[in-house]
Structure formats: C-alpha cells, structure tokens
Amino acid sequence: MKDKPIVVLGGGISGLSAALELLKNGKKVVILEREKEAGGMARTINESDYYLDFAPHAYHSTDPEFLKEIFSLIGDELEERSKDVRINFRGKYFLYPLKARDLALNMNPLLTLSALTDFIFAFPKRKSRLDRSSEDWLVNRFGRTLYEIFFGPYSAKVWGVPLSCLSPEFAAHRIPYPNLWNIIKNSLIRKKDTNDTHPYAPLVKKLFYPRKGAGRLPKKMQEEILKNGGEILLGYEAKSIEILGNKVVRVKGEREGKEITLSPESVIFTIPLPEISKMLSPSPGKKIADLAKKLRFRDMVILSLIVKGRPVLSAQSIYYTNKLFNRLSEINLYGGIEMVPPECSLLTLEMTCAEGDYLWNMEDDLLLGEILPYLEEEGILSKEDIVFHKKMRLKNAYPIYLRDYEEVMGGILSYLEGIDNLRLCGRQGFFKYIDMDLCWKSGKELALNILHGGSRIPLKELTYQERLFF
Ligand SMILES: Cc1cc2nc3c(=O)[nH]c(=O)nc-3n(C[C@H](O)[C@H](O)[C@H](O)COP(=O)(O)OP(=O)(O)OC[C@H]3O[C@@H](n4cnc5c(N)ncnc54)[C@H](O)[C@@H]3O)c2cc1C
C-alpha cells in the first residue's frame, strides 16, 4: 500500500516547493489550496487577456540552488534586468539605495547638512546604544534628521503603526545599513558598479522576470507536481486539523459546501500562522488563541493600470513617502514584457491597508479617481492613456513585527512542538518576512527534513538575506 499522503495546506511557492521535493522522493502528496489557482501571492492572474501580477514579483537571489532550480524550470522564459529603483522624496527623485552625491545635489542644502551631521555623529555610537524598537535601531544608526524626514513617516504609512512599535529586528533585516567609509569612498571615487554587487550592502542587483508574469514559476511547479503524481485540490479551504494524542489524524477541507476528509502521514502548514488556533481540534485554548491574535499582518490593495505607450516610467519602481500609494512600478521594465500588448505598459500602484478599511472597500473607479490627478500632474500619464484598470486585494501581504512578536511566536511554537507530525513552512506559516527564494528554500529544506530527519539548516532560523528596505 502506498503510504498515507503528506497534506500540504496552501499552494504558494512554499507549499509547492515542499510538495515537489517530497514527490521526487517517492512520497504521496495532496495540496489543499483555497484559491482557484495555485501560486499564492506570486501568482499571475489572467484578466481580459492581460496577465496581471500582485505588484512586481522579481526573482532575485544569491542562492545558487534556487537560481539553478528556476533556470531548470523556466530558464527560457526569463528576462534578466538590473535593479533600477528611485525614491520620490519631497517632489524630487533620488536613487535608491541612497547615494551621498545624489542627495547632496538634489536635497535642500540645510537639510542635507543636518542629516549628514546627525549621521556622522550617530556612526561611532551605533553599537553601544540599546535598540528597543525599529525607531531606536534607525535613529542610532542614521541619526534623528533622516529618521524624522524619511524613515518615520514612510514606515508609519506602510505599516500603519509607528516604528517605535516595531521590533528592532524588522529594521535590521529590511534596511541596508551603509558603511560610512563606503559612502565617502563611493561618493568621491566614481567606482564602476559590478553587475551583482552593491556598494553599500551585499544586495542582489540582478533580477529575473518571466515574460508572461511571475506566476509562470508556480505554474510550472504545479505541472511538475501533477507529472510526479501529486494531487492539487484547488478551491478547497482547509478548515480543521484534528489531533489525537500528539499527532494530526485528520484534516478537513471544504469547497462550496462540499467537505473532504484526509488522513495524513503529516501536515505542512504554509497558510497564515494565526489561523492555526481556530483550526486545531481540540482547541488549543484561550492562551494560544490570544497569542495568535497578537500576530498581525498588513493587507494591501494593488491598482493595475494598462496604459498606452512603453516605457512610461524612468525606473522600474518609484517609492513615494507622502502619497496614497507606496510604490509605482512598471512591470515590463522588470522583464514582464509579454503580459500586455507591446504598445502598452503594465503599471501597478501598491497601497497598504487593513482588510475592511476604506481603501480595501473602495470601488475600482473611485480609487483610480483618487490617484489619477497626481499621475496627471507629474506628467506620468493622462486619463485617455488608460485602456484597462483593475483593483486587486492581497490579504496578509506583510507580517508586522510588533515589539513583542518574538515572545508571542515562542509561545505558539512551543505549543505546536507538542504535535509531532505538524510542520510550519514559508512566509505565512513561519510569520517571517521572507521572499520567494527563501520560501522555496523553506519548502525544500522541510521536505528533506521529513525525508531524512534532521536538517541541513535549522528551519526556524532561515537566514534573511539583506534586501532593499521596501
Ligand atoms: C507586494 C509584494 C511584492 C513582493 N515582491 C517580491 C519580489 O519582488 N521578489 C520576491 O522574491 N518576493 C516578493 N514578495 C514576497 C513573496 O510574494 C512571498 O515571499 C511568497 O510568495 C510567499 O509564498 P508562501 O507560499 O509562503 O505564501 P503565499 O504565497 O501567501 O501562499 C499561501 C497560500 O495559502 C493559501 N491559503 C490560505 N489560507 C488557506 C486555507 N485555509 N486553506 C487552503 N489554502 C489556504 C493561499 O491562498 C495561498 O495560496 C512580495 C510580496 C508582496 C506582498
């Protein structure tokens, strides 16, 4: 008899990666995915013959294993580009990561002097000061001026909470901290940028994008899963995880009122972690439910615009510190060149929000009406250029690292450790702000862990890679 299946909850990159590795090693796998398509946040949707992504989803990584995998699956579909982003700050456009020469030339001289003085004074003290929050982390490294004029307001808009409420770990992982000496050196000497190194932080500069949208990778992974005998139940929402003793014995899912029951060998949980307390049966109790409620996500709406002309923007993405939207991007500049007709461009505008708030509920036309005047004013486009628009919703887009989140996670994880065959995985399952490469890795490592016991790397400690701030 072929064994009981390993049941994977959620068919995003993490779940697909775990499933594929298990199948290649002879395991039986069933994936339950709530949406009608797999791919999660990295999927591409087809709407009126246009391909739309949930904002740009570029494949960038320093992990040779991940790069080898994406090339073996969709290598001939990938376009390669160098990362090229700007920040619109007080109406002016700046290179990002910030360059001292660019700042000095374009910013108000008094403000530049104040920011620079603060930054230089903060530099020697950065290690000796206590970081209790992301605000502390930033002020201790960049000085108060840059924090007040830039990081503070932008982050409050994106996260919906001040940086003083966020754990220092958040800033440490998301914000490249430039070395003062490198800034001075790179500002004085015009050093030629190499293709894959960054002057201030070991960031990935090279990126890859499938011509027909980021979702090509999960689509291909899905095909491989089916070829290897895996089962993907689309449109099925996982509803309950039943425990007997210290094991999961049953998982129940539902599609349009129709229930399905599976008896798993083990369960891989890649859906948002806070859901777990509602799904476990018997219930883990009030303490765990209360902890789960403390893990918060930021939701997002994305306005996709198909616009006449190509290219429309001067960079792949522009970040805005004081507009309704956080980032304006042109997907064809990332390499998604076959998502809309060649005479058009695909723009996306990202707005963080909370499910049910006014942005979340606003009708598509009203949202476009809110944004259009600014785009017209800046000469980016006019109403007549827009051939199609669609508002897309993305729940649980970003985990919010509130100051006590590590303690909260610790409480939940120690409870779950008591269930032998239930394993967490991926961005949502781990409540970890990781990108697609690390999601893929977390799935693969977990599969290897299940297959061979032990782990090549401690799964809870998947290293973050330094990323651009936003
Ligand atoms: C705006 C934005 C831009 C990004 N850009 C990049 C980028 O450029 N490069 C990069 O590498 N990464 C990027 N990321 C991160 C990337 O999207 C994620 O790291 C990755 O897609 C997460 O994969 P996952 O499988 O862990 O989670 P998800 O993709 O969220 O997958 C979880 C799956 O679980 C399903 N699910 C939820 N509840 C249930 C249930 N009860 N039953 C069954 N199924 C359920 C969901 O439908 C979903 O398919 C970006 C993220 C965002 C929000």
Mean pLDDT of 52-57: 98
Whether cis (ω within 30° of 0) applies to the bond prior to 458 is: no
In whole angstroms, what is the distance from residue 320 CA to residue 329 CA?
Answer: 11
Beta carbon of 40 within 6 Å of any ligand 1 atom: yes
Lowest-pLDDT range of 173-182, 288-297, 408-417? 173-182
Give the residue whose CA is nearest to atom 6 of ligand 1.
57
SS (H, E, C) 155-186: HHHHHCCCHHHECHHHHHHHCCCCCHHHHHHH
Beta carbon of 30 within 6 Å of any ligand 1 atom: no
Phi and psi dihedrals of 8, rounded to 5? -105, 120
Token output for 463: 């290293």
Beta carbon of 353 within 6 Å of any ligand 1 atom: no
Q: What is the pLDDT of residue 108?
A: 81
More confidently predicted of 202 and 163: 163
Beta carbon of 279 within 6 Å of any ligand 1 atom: no
Beta carbon of 18 within 6 Å of any ligand 1 atom: no
Token output for 380: 């980016």
Write out the DSSP string of 57-84. --B--S-HHHHHHHHHHHGGGEEEEE--
Beta partners for residue 54, in sequence order: none
Give the residue whose CA is nearest to atom 8 of ligand 1.
57
Token output for 437: 């490469």
Domains and CATH numbers, the chain: 6-40+212-294+402-461 (3.50.50.60), 98-202 (1.10.3110)
For ligand 1, pick from 54, 349, 435 the residue to mutate: most ligand atoms within 8 Å of CB: 435
Q: What is the pLDDT of residue 182?
A: 60
Whether the per-residue pLDDT at 469 is higher than 50: the answer is no
409 to 150, 205, 291, 378, 401: CA distances (angstroms): 30, 32, 8, 44, 10
Ligand 1 centroid from CA 37, angstroms? 13
- Which atom of ligand 1 lies closest to the CA of 436? 11
For ligand 1, pick from 255, 280, 436, 470 the residue to mutate: most ligand atoms within 8 Å of CB: 436
Phi and psi dihedrals of 252, rounded to 5? -115, 140
Contact, 333 vs 340, CB < 8 A? Answer: no
Whether the per-residue pLDDT at 197 is higher than 60: the answer is no
Ligand 1 centroid from CA 221, angstroms? 15
Mean pLDDT of 54-77: 94
pLDDT tens-digit series, residues 154-176 = 888 888 888 999 998 888 777 76
Q: What is the pLDDT of residue 454?
A: 62
In whole angstroms, what is the distance from residue 17 CA to residue 439 CA?
Answer: 8
* Four-residue CA torsion sign, 283, 287, 288, 289: positive
Instruction: Give percent above pLDDT 70 in the chain.
Output: 88
Give the pLDDT band of residue 113 (cuts 50, 70, 90): confident
312 to 116, 329, 332, 346: CA distances (angstroms): 34, 10, 10, 9
In whole angstroms, what is the distance from residue 335 CA to residue 53 CA?
Answer: 12
Beta carbon of 16 within 6 Å of any ligand 1 atom: no
Write out the DSSP string of 65-133. HHHHHHHHHHGGGEEEEE--EEEEETTEEEEES--HHHHHHHS-HHHHHHHHHHHHHHHHHTTTS---S
Q: What is the pLDDT of residue 465?
A: 42
Beta carbon of 443 within 6 Å of any ligand 1 atom: no
- Stated as kind and residue range, the H or E segment containing 376 is helix 364-377
Ligand 1 centroid from CA 427, angstroms? 7
Beta carbon of 10 within 6 Å of any ligand 1 atom: yes
Report the C-alpha dihedral over residues 7, 12, 18, 24, rounded to 10 degrees: 90
Apex 100 CA angle, 157 and 127, nearest 5 = 70
In whole angstroms, what is the distance from residue 134 CA to residue 141 CA?
Answer: 11
Beta carbon of 335 within 6 Å of any ligand 1 atom: no
Mapped onto helix, strand or coil, the DSSP state of residue 264 is coil
Q: What is the pLDDT of residue 464?
A: 44
Q: What is the pTM of this model?
A: 0.91
